[in-house]
């Protein structure tokens, strides 16, 4: 069985992964695609590069520049621990908070990668940090334990076909005995007479199946379909793992930005608190206004601590799925949507979806089982030959006998109290279930493709609105500061506008991450989220090549192909895909909105 998964929205609005087995997914009608909740690592704290293009609001940039300048003067002019140095800060408590928080610039310098490392498409060493999505995909593709386990499982089922083929070959067995025998018999006169001694014997038996009324053909077809099912399961597992990697990668960037935003918001609030303290000293504002500002400052400190905690949690999941700690993560640039329309995505998914192809293979497995049960009504023909070398006496090896026997054995069950009929009906019902699951697979795959398409389109359209909203919120906040000093707005009004700006910036970073996850959702539902498709020079693991290498490992030249063809003369079709019986399978709703181009930049 291979895992499948689907998204459910949590109370916090983040995407979370629910994992189920393929059998449960097909039975319940869930055909999804999988991506885990994005999260981040503590010992290699990733940051977002803001030097190339600073998209922070002007008010925040000015406040941060002023704060950094003040920090530089304090560091050069006095001991940071002295009372004079602490007097330049808003509060002693803030000194303690800032001392516990690493700065963005220091972390960036410590974690930055060279240009060559950022452009490398080879998987980094397990101990090295990851800086690009290309590196993360390559490392997970080559080292992820779950993916390696799925590949080994697929290889193991390949040998089932070789075993089925080898059952048509001859079997030669040898046996030998060396036994001690003692016999005592009572005579009519009373005493016992007897003999004892050692004797040996040897036997050689050759057995060759000739015809099984379709038994062997059904066994081979079932083994072939099982191997195909497991290989398609491997594709779905790979899509799940690649989706997890994409999700945690963009989640790392999102949560690192959330920490930076929380820190910037706290600096703004502390500056406003200092200004309000000055105004309160001259009775320009009331104690209520000052307490409102202090409330928001403490809330900002709590939000920063929570953001850093989430950052640490997210880093751990990054390490889990990728296999290395996150470094300075560059914007992701691998996932592109080449479908021109939703109809084109439907058409491609109908042919290439791993879940649909796995459902077809599973149906062929149970169809071969039906043929195998039906073949039990027919006879079985085997050729047997034996060579025996025995002692004439069980007490010694003085005299010997040899025998050579050749025979053709025909075995036919005449009566079994309805056992064969019950087995056939059981297999037919199981096959009918698998046939219906093919229809379910089509329905749910189309739903997954359509839902991912609409989700991606809505997120891309929303990004432009959030950018506009952030610009407007920044202007409103700057204007409110001026109006507050003029007495036209209260402290509460200014604090509310600052909170609105904070929420908009956090929402924007979440939408940016969700948009990229939606791309992965669409590619996975269509059967395109595979490592070598994403990273062109990544060496592909070829599961089909392994099957081709081992499929004839048990063949006897000429003999096995001939007997296989003979045994399958009376068997039904066990290799082609079943036709679709559900009228609703080919139906699909149109896209809710057109898909805009990919955003040109991610802040």
pLDDT in tens, 257-270: 999 999 998 998 99
Cβ contacts of residue 212 below 8 Å, gap of 6+? 375, 378, 380, 381, 567
Distance (Å, whole) CA 242 – CA 230: 18
Strands 396-411, 3-9: parallel, antiparallel or unpaired by DSSP?
unpaired
φ, ψ (nearest 5 deg) of residue 181: -130, 135
φ, ψ (nearest 5 deg) of residue 40: -125, -170
User: What size, in residues, is the chain?
Assistant: 603
User: What is the pLDDT of the chain when averaged over all its residues?
Assistant: 81
Q: Which residue has the tokens 């004839």?
A: 552
CB 457 within 8 A of CB 593: yes
Long-range contacts of 491-494 (CB under 8 A, 24+ apart): 491/276, 491/285, 491/289, 491/290, 491/292, 491/293, 492/289, 492/292, 494/272
What is the per-residue pLDDT across 194-208, written as a single tens digit (0 to 9) for each? 888 999 999 999 999
Return the higher-pLDDT residue of 6 and 474: 474
Question: Could you tell me the maximum CA-CA distance found in the chain, to the nearest angstrom?
Answer: 140
Burial of 50 per CB tally in 10 Å (0-12, 13-18, 19+): middle
What is the per-residue pLDDT across 426-444, written as a single tens digit (0 to 9) for each? 999 999 999 999 999 999 9
3-state secondary structure of 490: coil
Q: Which residue has the tokens 């192909």?
A: 561
Distance (Å, whole) CA 106 – CA 390: 89
Provide Rg for the chain, Cα atoms. Answer: 37
Eight-state DSSP code of residue 170:
-
Q: 485 pLDDT band (50/70/90 cuts)?
A: confident
Cβ contacts of residue 375 below 8 Å, gap of 6+? 212, 213, 214, 215, 218, 571
- How much is the pLDDT for 584? 78
Distance (Å, whole) CA 27 – CA 25: 6
Distance (Å, whole) CA 488 – CA 502: 23
Per-domain residue ranges of the chain: 3-48+118-184+192-536
Superfamily designation of domain 3-48+118-184+192-536 = Outer membrane efflux proteins (OEP) (1.20.1600.10)
Which residue, 63, 47, 53, 50, is CA-closest to 474? 63
Alpha helices in 2-57 (DSSP H): 22-28
Q: Which residue has the tokens 């039975």?
A: 27
Q: What is the pTM of this model?
A: 0.74
Which residue, 137, 236, 157, is CA-closest to 544? 157
Q: Is the pLDDT of residue 215 over 60?
A: yes
* Neighbour-count burial for 412-423, b at 16+ CB within 10 Å, e otherwise: eeeeeeeebeeb
Q: Is the pLDDT of residue 27 over 50?
A: no
Distance (Å, whole) CA 280 – CA 277: 5
Q: Is the pLDDT of residue 533 over 50?
A: yes
* Neighbour-count burial for 267-285, b at 16+ CB within 10 Å, e otherwise: bbbbbbbeebeebeeeeeb
Q: 128 pLDDT band (50/70/90 cuts)?
A: confident
End-to-end CA distance of the chain: 40
Q: Is the pLDDT of residue 509 over 80?
A: yes
What value does the mean pLDDT take over residues 225-248? 96
């Amino acid at each position: 069985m291979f895992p499948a998964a689907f998204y459910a929205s949590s109370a916090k609005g983040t995407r979370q992964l629910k994992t189920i087995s393929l059998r449960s997914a097909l039975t319940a009608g869930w055909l999804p695609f999988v991506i885990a909740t994005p999260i981040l690592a503590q010992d290699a704290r990733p940051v977002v590069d803001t030097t190339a293009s600073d998209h922070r609001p002007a008010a925040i940039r000015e406040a941060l520049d002023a704060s950094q300048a003040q920090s530089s003067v304090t560091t050069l002019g006095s001991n940071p621990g002295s009372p004079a140095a602490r007097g330049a800060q808003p509060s002693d408590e803030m000194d303690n908070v800032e001392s516990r928080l690493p700065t963005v610039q220091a972390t960036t310098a410590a974690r930055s990668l060279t240009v060559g490392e950022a452009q490398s498409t080879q998987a980094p060493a397990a101990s090295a940090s990851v800086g690009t999505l290309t590196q993360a995909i390559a490392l997970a593709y080559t080292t992820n334990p779950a993916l390696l386990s799925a590949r080994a499982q697929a290889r193991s089922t390949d040998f089932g076909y070789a075993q089925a083929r080898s059952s048509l070959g001859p079997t030669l067995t040898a046996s030998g005995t060396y036994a001690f025998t003692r016999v005592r018999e009572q005579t009519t006169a009373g005493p016992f007479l007897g003999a004892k001694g050692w004797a040996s014997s040897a036997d050689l038996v050759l057995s060759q199946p000739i015809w099984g009324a379709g038994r062997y053909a059904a066994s081979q077809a079932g083994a072939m379909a099982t191997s195909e099912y497991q290989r398609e399961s491997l594709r779905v597992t790979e899509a799940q793992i690649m989706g997890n990697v994409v999700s945690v990668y963009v989640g790392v960037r999102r949560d690192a930005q959330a920490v930076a935003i929380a820190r910037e918001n706290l600096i703004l609030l502390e500056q406003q608190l200092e200004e309000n303290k000055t105004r309160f000293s001259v009775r320009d504002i009331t104690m209520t206004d000052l307490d409102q500002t202090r409330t928001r400052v403490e809330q900002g400190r709590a939000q920063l601590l929570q953001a850093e905690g989430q950052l640490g949690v997210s880093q751990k999941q990054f390490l889990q799925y990728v296999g290395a700690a996150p470094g300075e993560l560059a914007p992701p640039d691998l996932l592109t949507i080449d479908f021109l329309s939703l109809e084109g995505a439907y058409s491609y998914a109908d042919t290439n979806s791993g879940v649909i192809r796995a459902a077809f293979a599973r149906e062929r497995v149970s169809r071969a089982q039906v043929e195998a049960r039906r073949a039990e009504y027919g006879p079985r023909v085997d050729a047997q030959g034996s060579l025996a070398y025995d002692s004439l006496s069980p007490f010694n090896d003085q005299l010997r006998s040899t025998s050579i026997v050749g025979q053709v054995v025909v075995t036919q069950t005449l009566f079994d109290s309805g056992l064969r009929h019950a087995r056939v009906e059981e297999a037919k019902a199981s096959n009918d279930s698998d046939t219906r699951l093919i229809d379910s697979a089509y329905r749910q795959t189309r739903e997954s493709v359509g839902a991912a398409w609409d989700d991606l389109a809505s997120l891309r359209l929303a990004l432009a609105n959030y950018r506009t909203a952030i610009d407007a919120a920044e202007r409103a906040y700057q204007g409110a500061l001026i109006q507050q000093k003029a007495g036209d707005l209260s402290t509460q009004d200014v604090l509310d506008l600052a909170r609105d700006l904070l929420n908009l910036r956090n929402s924007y970073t979440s939408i940016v991450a969700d948009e990229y996850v939606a791309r992965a959702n669409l590619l996975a539902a269509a059967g395109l989220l595979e490592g070598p498709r994403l990273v062109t020079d990544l060496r592909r693991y070829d599961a089909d090549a392994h099957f081709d290498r081992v499929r004839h490992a048990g063949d006897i030249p000429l003999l096995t192909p001939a007997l296989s063809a003979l045994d399958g003369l009376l068997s039904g079709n066990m290799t082609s895909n079943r036709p679709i019986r559900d009228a609703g399978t080919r139906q699909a709703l149109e896209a809710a909105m057109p898909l805009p181009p990919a955003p040109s930049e991610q802040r």
